[in-house]
Amino acid sequence: MNEIDHTTNEQQLSHGNAIVEESDIPGFAYDSVTKRYYRVQPQASGPNIGFRESDLRGNRQHNLFMAKREQCCSKSCPSVLWLPKMIQRRELYGSSVSRFTRLVTEGALRGVRKKPSYIQKGYTDIDTLHSCHYVDISDDGKTIVGCWSVRGRRDEGWRDTCGARLICFKVTTSHYDNTKGVCWSKFGLKIPSSTYGANLVKSNLMDICVEPVNDNVTCALYVTTQTIVTMHNRFSTLSRVCIEPVAEFSSVHDSAELRLPSYNMRWTCQKYVHALAFNRNRMGIGIGLEENALLLDISTEQTIRINSLKRSVMSLSFSADGNLLFMGLLGNNVICSDLRMNNRETVATYNDTESVGWLKTMRTKPDMLVTEDHVGIIKFWDIRVGKPLIRIEDNINPYNKTPMHLEKDERILFSATSDGITRAWSTYNGEKLCEFPSHDPRNSSRKPKLVYASNWGGFSGNAAILIATGSDFHDNYYEYLSACRKKNSNTLYTNSGLRCEKDIQVALGRFRNAVNETGWGILEVETFNDVDEMTQAFAAGLLEGVLTRQLITYHFRNTVEEICDGEEEYCKKLFAYLSKNLEWIKRTVNLTFAQLTGINYGYLKKASTMYKPIISFELTPIYMIQLAGEVFDLEKVFGKNKTDATHCSGLIKLAPDNADLFIAHVSMSSYETMNRILKFYKFAFDKEKVPGYATSFSSYPGVLASLDDFILASSGLAIIETTISIFNHSLYNAVRSDGQLHCWIRSIIATKLANTAKQWMQIFARYNSGTYNNQWSVLDYKLFKPNEKLPTNNLLWVLEQTPGLVISHDMTWFLKNYTYWPSYNIPYFKIISEISGFKEKGQLLDWYKWESCPRAKIFKRDHHKVINLDTLQKLMRYNDYKHDEFSKCKCIPPYSAEASISTRGDLNPPNGTYEINAMGHRNHGSIDYKGTNYHLFKNLRFKAWGGPPYDPLPVFSWATTNIQAKHYGQPTVWQFKEIETQWETVLP
C-alpha cells in the first residue's frame, strides 16, 4: 500500500464504483483499488466530495438489512456473511466484482464436507509414499508437486532407497453416468512410474518451498541437514541448500535451459538451517540459522550476514519488492531488516510475536504481514504502523511450525491445527469459514500438508482442498516397520507394515511420535525366535534406528554435538580413553553392541539393498549418545567439568495395610535433554537364561538403556536410580580404559540376566567403571502379595557405587519399618558417604545430609499421603517452594525452587544470592514423572508425565524462559497431562 493520503473533501475518486472501507486508522477510510487512505469528512458538500460520515452510516444500515434479507429469503446459499469479529470493515457505494468473488469463495468453504470426496493412495511403480513434507498445485490446477518420504520396492521386498523425493502428479478426470446422483466428475491422480527431482538419502529435510524464479521458470528450494563425523572424530552438522527447476510448473521445457546454473545450485554450510525463503527480485535466498540469517546470492554464491539479535531464525519472508526481510526469532519478536542499507539494519520490531514459526508477506496486499506464533495466535499486521489489524485465536498450535497454507489469491488462510482439525479463515476479516477433521499433525510422520485450488482439474470455479498425508499407517496410533530375513540367507531388509509377506519376520517395531501431544515418543520393538540372538539384537536396533531417526538427530544436536567446542584437549583424552575401552569391550559384550550397531545402521539408512547383521565397536554419534551418564564423571576425570552431576528423586512406597506397592521416579537434568521416548523391548531369548527378556522403561532417542533410570522387567524386577556426585576427585584414579564396563552396559546386562534383586546387584557390581555413579534401588514384585504380610528379606535391595567401590544391602527391613524408601542423590551407606565426600560436605550444610536435606524432610512429612497412583504422582510432581518451610534457605530471595521433590532451577531469579550454586538459577529441573503399582506392573505398564512440573508453578516455555539452550524437536510449551502406557506387545 501507499502512504496515508491527507486529502480533503476536494479530492475526487479516480475510479468508479470504489470499494471504500472503514480503516483501522481513526478518521480515515481505505480504498482497496488505489490502495490509499482518505480522510473522512464529518460534514461536506459539493460535487467533488470525498467520503462523509453519513455515507458510512447509510451503508452500514444497508448492509445489515441485506444480510438479514439473505438469511431469511435465500434458499440457495445456506450461510450468510457474518459481521466481522475482529475489526469492522464495511463496503461503500454498493457491490463490486471483487466482493462477489470473495463471497462465492467463502460460501463454498462454508459448505465444505466433513469427509473427503475422494481418497487415493499414492503408489508408483517403484515407490510407496509415506509422510508428506510439502505439496503445491500449478496455476492451471492440473499438476501437483510434492515432496514425500518414500521407500523403494524391489523383487526381494521393500527396502529404504531414499529418505525423500520430489514427485509430480497429473490431475485427471473421468466421467461416468450420474444414475446414483453422486457427482458427475471423478478427479484422480495419474502417478508416473518415474519420479522427479532430488533423492535425499541420509539427510533430514528441514524446509522446502516451490517458488517462481522468473516469469518462465519455477524452482524447488529446499535444505537438508545431517550429522557427520569428521576425520578428527568430531561431530559436525552439514546442511545443504539446493535449488532446482520444476519442469511441470515452468513454461520453459528446454532441458538445456533448465540446466542453467541460475536454476541449479548446491550450497553447503556446517551450521543448522531452520528456514528458507526465496527473493525473486534480488535472485537470492534467505537462510535462517541459529544466531543470524544469511542472504545467499544465487549467481555468485556469496553470502551476506543479517543480524538476528543472536537468536535462532525460525521463519523468513521477503517483502514483495525484495527490499525487506522479516524474521521470526526463537524466544523473541519478529524483526524486519532493510536490505538496502549497508549494514542491513533492523528497522522494525513487531511486539507480542515471540517464536513465530510461520510468517508470510502478502503479494496482493504488499503492506500486510501474516504471522503465527508459538501458541497458535495468527495476526495480520500493517507493516507501516506495526500494528495487527486482525487477530485469530482459535488456531491450536503447541509447537513451532504448524502446517499452514495461504492460497494463491490470498483470500483464504488454512491451518492443520494440533487437535487434528483443519480450519480456514478469511483474510478479509478473520472470520472462520470452515473446519473439518484431518490427520493429527502432532505426530511428525503423519503431519498433513494442504493446498487449495480454485480450478481443480483445470475447471474454473471447481474448488478443492487437497490434503496430503502418509499412506502406510495401520491406524491412528502407531507406525509399523518389520525386519525381514531372506530365506536361506542371513541378510535383512525392512518392510513397512505388521509382517513380512514372503520371508521370515525377525522383528517388529511400533513407533508413535507424540512429543508435541504428550511430551513423549513411544516405541515398542519385539523380536521373534526363528533366528539367533545376535540377529535379533541387530534387527531390533535396526528398526529403532529407522523409526526414531529424526528424534535421534534432535537429541544428538541438543546434547552431544558441541561436546568438544573449546575443549580440544579434553576431547583428545576422552576419545583415547573410549577407543581403548572399546577394544577391551570387544572381548566381553556382544548382544548389546549388536543392537547398538543395528541402531546406527538404521539411523544412517545404509543404501545397500540388504543389511547383514554384524557387531561393530566404533566411536559413532549413536555410541556417544549412550554415554550421557558416564560423561558426568569422565569430564571430571579429564579436567573439564567443575559442576556436580544432575539429580533425580525416587520413591518406593507401601499402601496402607499392604494393599499396594508403588515405585516412582522423577528425572532431573538440563532442559535440552527433554527429547524423550517411552520404550518396550521384547526379545525371543531363552526365558530361563534371560529372565529379563522384556523391559519397559523411560529413555531417550537412540539410547539402549534408560539413563533416568526407571525400568520394569519381565523378571519381576522394578529398578530406579538417583545419581551420586563424587566430591573426592582422588577416587577417579580408579577409572581405567580396560577391565571396566560403563554403567549403561552393566545395567542392561544385569536387567536381562538377573531373576532376583540380589542377583541384579551381584551382576551389576562386576567390572565397575567408576562412571555414572548412582544409588540403585531394585524392587522384586514377585515377592509382594497385596494385603498380605511382607517377606522378611529380598523384597528391596539397594546398591551404591563410587569409583573403585560398590556396596549393596538388603533394605527390606527399612521398607517394612517405615513403609517407604526414598532416594534423592545422597548416599545412605556410611562408607560411601565418607569416601565420596558427602559426609564432609554435610558437616557444613544440611543440603548434603541424607536425613536432613529438603527432599528428605518433604518425603518424611508427606509419604503417608500416598494411597494410590494419583496421590503418588502428586507427591512426585510436588513443588511449592515459595510456601513450603523445607524449601527455605539462607538466600535472597529466602527460598529455592531446587529444594523440592520436583525441581525448577529456571524459576530462581538470576540475580539471586544463594548458599551454593545448586540452589540458584540454572538450566536444571525435573523433566518428567514415571510411576507404577502392582496391577500395572504385571503388564510392564506405568504412568508417565512429560515435562517440568507446573500448577502452581508457571508452565515451562522455550518462548518465555531466559534459559539459553538447544532444543531441536521439542515442543515450545510444556503443558501436558499424565498418560498411561498401553503396550500392543503381548507378554506370555
H, E, C per residue of 826-870 = CCCCHHHHHHHCHHHHHCCCHHHCCCCCHHHHHHHHHHHHCCCHH
pLDDT, mean of residues 612-628: 92
Q: Name the domain count of the chain.
A: 3
Q: Is the pLDDT of residue 5 over 50?
A: no
Same-domain check for residues 59 and 92:
no
Please state, rounded to an integer, the average pLDDT across all residues of the chain.
81
3-state secondary structure 365-386: CCCEEEEECCCCCEEEEECCCC
pLDDT, mean of residues 541-562: 91
Exposure string for 839-861, b = 16+ CB within 10 A, e = fewer:
bebbeeeebbbbeebbbbbbbee
> In this prediction, what percent of the chain has a pLDDT beyond 90?
47
C-alpha cell at 271: 551450521
- Residue 914 lies inside a defined structural domain of this protein: yes
Stretch among 442-451, 454-463, 815-824 having the lowest mean pLDDT? 442-451
88 membership: H or E segment, kind and range? none
Find residue 120's DSSP bridge partners.
none
pLDDT of 911 over the 80 cut? yes
Considering only CA atoms, which of 690, 674, 672 is closest in space to residue 682? 690
Burial class (CB in 10 A: 0-12, 13-18, 19+), 768: buried
Give residue-wise pLDDT tens across range 928-943.
999 999 999 999 999 9
The radius of gyration of the chain's CA atoms, rounded to the nearest angstrom, is: 31
pLDDT at 949: 97
Residue range 491-520: mean pLDDT, rounded: 87
Q: Is the pLDDT of residue 154 over 80?
A: no
Confidence at residue 199, expressed as pLDDT on a 0 to 100 scale: 54
Cβ atoms within 10 Å, residue 299: 10
- To the question of pTM greater than 0.75 for the whole model, the response is no
Q: How many CB atoms lie within 10 A of CB 227?
A: 22
- CA angle 710/964/296 to nearest 5° reads 120
**Chosen domain end from 71, 95, 130:** 71
679 and 756 share a domain?
yes
pLDDT > 90? residue 211:
no
Using CA atoms, how far apart are residues 348 and 338, in angstroms rounded to an integer? 9
Residues 6+ apart with CB under 8 A from 343: none
- Cα atoms in the 13 Å half-sphere on the side-chain side of 592: 24
Q: How far apart are CA 970 and CA 948, in angstroms?
A: 13
Q: Read off the pLDDT of each residue in 70-85 and give the average, rounded to a whole number.
A: 34
Together in a domain, 637 and 606: yes
Backbone φ, ψ for residue 54 (5° rounding): -65, -35
Cα–Cα distance between 86 and 425 in angstroms, integer?
12
Positive or negative CA dihedral for 831, 836, 837, 842? negative
Indicate if the pLDDT at residue 83 is higher than 50.
Answer: no
What CATH number did the domain enclosing 617 receive?
Answer: 3.60.60.30
Residues 554, 272 contacting (CB under 8 angstroms): no
What separation, in Å, do the N-terminal and C-terminal C-alpha atoms of the chain show? 70
Identify the pLDDT of residue 125. 44
Which of 223-227, 275-279, 578-582, 933-937 is most confident?
A: 933-937
Contact yes or no for 431/108 (Cβ under 8 A): no
- Residue position matching grid coordinates 539402549: 704
Indicate if 733 and 785 belong to the same structural domain. yes
Confidence of residue 922 (pLDDT cuts 50, 70, 90): very high
Q: At what angle do helices 591-604 and 549-559 cross, to 10 degrees?
A: 100
Q: Is 11's pLDDT higher than 70? A: no
985: in domain: no
Residue 270 is assigned to a structural domain of this protein: no
* Nearest-angstrom CA–CA distance, 512 and 529: 25
Strands 51-52 and 36-41: parallel
- Residues pairing with 151 in the sheet: 128
pLDDT at 584: 84
In a domain, 899, yes or no: yes
Q: Single out the residue of 147, 142, 65, 78 nearest to residue 109, CA to CA.
A: 78
Which tens digits make up the pLDDT trace of 658-698?
999 999 999 999 999 999 999 999 999 999 999 999 999 99
Q: Is the pLDDT of residue 855 over 60?
A: yes
CB count, 10 Å around CB of 966?
Answer: 17
- With respect to residue 988, please indicate whether it lies within any of the assigned structural domains: no
Is the pLDDT higher at 729 or at 154?
Answer: 729
Chosen domain end from 60, 92, 111: 111
The answer as to whether 533 is a domain residue is: yes
The DSSP code for 685 is -
- CA of residue 609 relative to chain centroid, distance: 30
Q: Which of 140-154, 286-300, 573-587 has the lowest mean pLDDT?
A: 140-154
Residues 46 and 104 in one domain: no
CB-based burial of residue 738 (10 Å sphere; 0-12 exposed, 13-18 middle, 19+ buried)? exposed
| C-alpha separations of 56 from 82, 100, 515, 575 in Å | 18, 20, 51, 76
Give the DSSP letter of residue 639. Answer: T
CA–CA separation, 949 vs 955, rounded Å?
7
Residues 858 and 830 in one domain: yes
Domain for residue 207, yes or no? no
Residues 99, 28 share a domain: no
Structural domain boundaries enclosing 102: 80-111
d(CA 703, CA 76): 60
Whether residue 71 has pLDDT greater than 60:
no
Q: How far apart are CA 158 and CA 947, in angstroms?
A: 37
Average of per-residue pLDDT across 471-480? 52
> Within a domain: residue 567?
yes
Half-sphere exposure of 776 (CA within 13 A, CB side): 33
Question: Which phi and psi angles does 376 have, rounded to 5°?
Answer: 95, 0
Say how many CA atoms lie within 13 Å of 14 toward its Cβ. 7
